[in-house]
Structure 1
Amino acid sequence: MNELRYVYAVMRPFSASLPADLRGVTGSQPYQFRHDDLSAVVSTVSADDFDTDPLKERLEDLDWLSDTARAHAAVVGALGSLGSPLPLRLATVCRDDDGVRRLLDSGRDRFRTTLERLDGRVEWGVKVYARNAATTAEPPAGAGPAKKPIDHAPGAGRDFLRRRLGERRREEHTWQSAFTVARTLHEELTGRAESSRLHRPQEARLSGASGQNVLNAAYLVHRDHSADFIGGVHRLLPNDGGLSGEITGPWAPYSFTDDQPPTEFDGALRGESARATGEGERS
């Protein structure tokens, strides 16, 4: 069987052993591949799954992709106890050991710089959700769908439009308040972290969360300062007024492998409220 090299992360060489029960993609056992002053954490995988053409097909299989992503993340997560890993993209594959050496050689300067910047740092994720009362209100238990008689009285149409306008204004006020809270929280947490990244808000059907995601951010924090950062998040997270929040981590610093400045809360996120309320739609 032709075997390829799946690369999870780049690190400084480490002396400790990887956990004996740690398994990577397709159940393979990861190991350290050392080359000069850098190490890659790799495992062998079958070309039947990871060569160029079969990999393209595999990446269309959501179940396979999900399993591979979880295994990849599990390996990178385990490396946090051995040093500061620089996670590589999902399905980074080399043909053989020489290919791994070329990967390390070609990115040596960038790897060194990034490892220095991320040394001792971890990533924390913070999300805020807004619940729209107009769309989440539930009827009383046992009640069937409401049935209203058609009102043909003069002015009925006008009254209906007036009610709809009032509902729309209340919805817009809810989203405006949600984004104001999210912006303030992000600015405060950015000031407490070494760097931050704003990610695209997650769709509810993908995240499984209740409510509209109005903040999906990552923060780079020194491991020694994490307890203070977590305490600050818990004090600042909203948990009333139709808003809720959560913090996840610590993660390997996936969001900070590129050397970019902290991101600001901008109109890109505000556009999500327009889609949520139907603003800008045309019938």
Structure 2
Amino acid sequence: MAVIENSDSIGPGGDFRLSEASAKDFLALLKPRVMSLVVFTALTGLILAPGTINPVLGAIAILCIAVGAGASGALNMWYDADIDAVMTRTACRPIPAGRIRPQEALAFGVTLSAFSVVILGLVVNWMAAAFLAFTIFFYAVVYTMWLKRSTPQNIVIGGASGAFPPMIGWACVTGDVSWNSLILFLIIFLWTPAHFWALALFKMGDYGAVGVPMMPNVAGERSTKRQMFVYAVLTGLAAVAPALTGLSSWAYGLVAGVLSLVFIGYSIAVLKMPEGDKRMAAAKRMFAYSILYLFVVFAALLADHYLMVV
């Protein structure tokens, strides 16, 4: 908090000199780990979509989606700098740590947002560009500025922004959406609450300190654990759905089914975790597995697609 308050860049008439931030600091604003998952799921949607796209245009499309995702992250960090300074998980981010001034992050995010949307529209198609623009708006405004601090359903509704990339990739090829692209969306959308609430369980103190109404802080541990189990089951059903619609083979369906049973098993372990458990070991294991789970599910979709083509 102090580093932000001491910055002479805040408020009208402030000092607008540039900070001495490094390229690494601006890269951190883009949330590269989150961006990598966005890029991978968007690439999956682009490859699984019916039809073809010129490889160069496809590469530009993925680059634009990556830049748009990074822009969303920068805008999120700009707006959340006050609470990031308090939370142990985020206190070292570039803005609360004083390495980047807030207005620099805002300008960076807005510039990248406009660049990614315009280039995607001009080079690929405007349907995909509009979808990307909506995704950036949904994450930066609807989730970050409104839902995150106002409702315990923040991550449920706001999680849609992280689930749109495969639909954008799909739209880059087809110029529209379909039931199969919606299934890709649902896998991520239904996965997000179980994934993020696992984190929220062992970071309850941080969220409580900044007044963010995460589900464990508002509804309690027991209710959150039950909901995580329900979402894990729903995620598993969505993950095997491509085998039912013809988007993938039954070989993929079997792999997704096994992965999902393990995911559900982790949610059961969390459900059995004693109230007030300080170690939160089961929640930490589920959080770690959930990241691997989503990556492997989408990797299996890609592998299955190429095997079907061959």
TM-score w.r.t. the length of structure 1 is 0.25
Higher helix share: 2
Q: Which has the higher strand share?
A: 1
| Greater relative contact order (Cα < 8 A, sep 6+) | 1
The structure with the larger Rg is 1
Q: What TM-score results when the alignment is normalised by the length of structure 2?
A: 0.23
